[in-house]
Amino acid sequence: MSVDVQTALRSPRSYELARQALETMEANGVWPTVRNFELWVHYVAEKESPLAREIDRLLAAGEPITETLGEALAAQFLPEAKMNGDILEAGDVLSKELKTVTAAIETAQKSSEEYGQELAIATSRLDGDDVETVKAVVEDLTSATKKARTENAALEGQLADTTAELGRLRESLEQVRRDAMTDGLTNLANRKAFDERLDAACELADVDGKGVTLAIIDIDHFKGFNDAWGHQIGDQVLRYVSSVIGRMGATPRMAARYGGEEFAIIFPAENGRIARAVLEEIREEVSSRSLKRRSTNEDLGTITVSAGFAERIAGENAMSLVERADAALYASKHAGRNRTTAAQPVAAVAAA
């Protein structure tokens, strides 16, 4: 990301840039993925850049900006492209503003309607009384309110449209945020989402005392398999294993791609006995299936996984918990792989 864009995203312009990027993406039928959002933030922020000129050329030629084309543009013009925290922060700012404005619009509409109703009731109650002066005042106020409501009818229609538009923009931002926390290959949570969730789980465990267990899983001999059959088959293996892990690690647990061929499952409020049973089920299911090449139905053999898990000790920080689970994983590997190992117990762990 260029210095100019970084500067803009740290300035009051961030709100405007995020809004312009989303509006431009929608106008051109571009799906708001993480990479596309970054690409179009660059586009609206630097209209004279090589990237912007290329996008303008493609649009002028009627070329649809597909996800594949977006990836190619990012690779060409943003060689170090990755979702920048500044972009997410800009999205957070916009999302908060959208919620605030939407709430204000709804409150204003409701207040105006209730005010008119109250004045009408007051006038009705004064019918037949002698307090002509008071009645005249109320009637004048009622008339003024009716006039204001008539004049604001068009505005209310615009406000309704604006509310719908704000809701659409907020949904787009939420999609971008979800994509930013998801691993593109496996559709599991990514490392960023895992780190945030584990920190939160540790904090909650200190509050409710229910504990948390962490498991780390690794595909055995994956590098050799990948080298022998190619990266496409390697990706097929990753997706298969992640589908099993994702099913076993569904909410309220959290399954994540920890990195490369490693995965993790957070077990909030669950102990090591439960974690071991789940990990054994994953291990047995993964090894029970003979994989085949999709294009040729060629037999690829079977794969296995190794796992390690650790139960959190009161006061233990996330980093220490990960280290203990990781050590248990490597104990499984050193013992011959295709097995599950519990972390060694420790007497005490220093608080974070």
Token code pair at residue 48: 């004279």
Give me the half-sphere count of Cα atoms (radius 13 Å) on the Cβ side of residue 14. 20
Between CA 242 and CA 246 the distance in angstroms is 6
Other beta carbons within 10 angstroms of residue 255's beta carbon come to 25
Give me the half-sphere count of Cα atoms (radius 13 Å) on the Cβ side of residue 27. 8
Between CA 81 and CA 126 the distance in angstroms is 70
Token code pair at residue 262: 């490693």
| Contact predicate 129/135, CB 8 Å | yes
For the question of residue 281 being annotated catalytic, the response is: no
Angle at which helix 67-77 crosses helix 34-45, to 10 degrees, equals 60
Burial of residue 152 (number of CB atoms within 10 Å: 0-12, 13-18, 19+): middle
Token code pair at residue 137: 């005042």
Between CA 271 and CA 277 the distance in angstroms is 10
Between CA 235 and CA 155 the distance in angstroms is 54
Say which residues have a Cβ less than 8 Å from residue 185's Cβ, sequence separation at least 6.
Answer: 235, 238, 239, 242, 257
Q: Among the options 261, 270, 311, 316, which is catalytic?
A: 261
| Contact predicate 265/201, CB 8 Å | no
Between CA 309 and CA 253 the distance in angstroms is 14
Angle in degrees, CA 333, 334, 339, rounded to 5: 40
- Give pairs for 249-256: CB < 8 Å, separation 24+: 249/278, 254/189, 254/193, 254/194, 254/197, 255/188, 255/189, 256/183, 256/188, 256/189, 256/190, 256/191, 256/193, 256/194, 256/197
Active-site residue set = 261
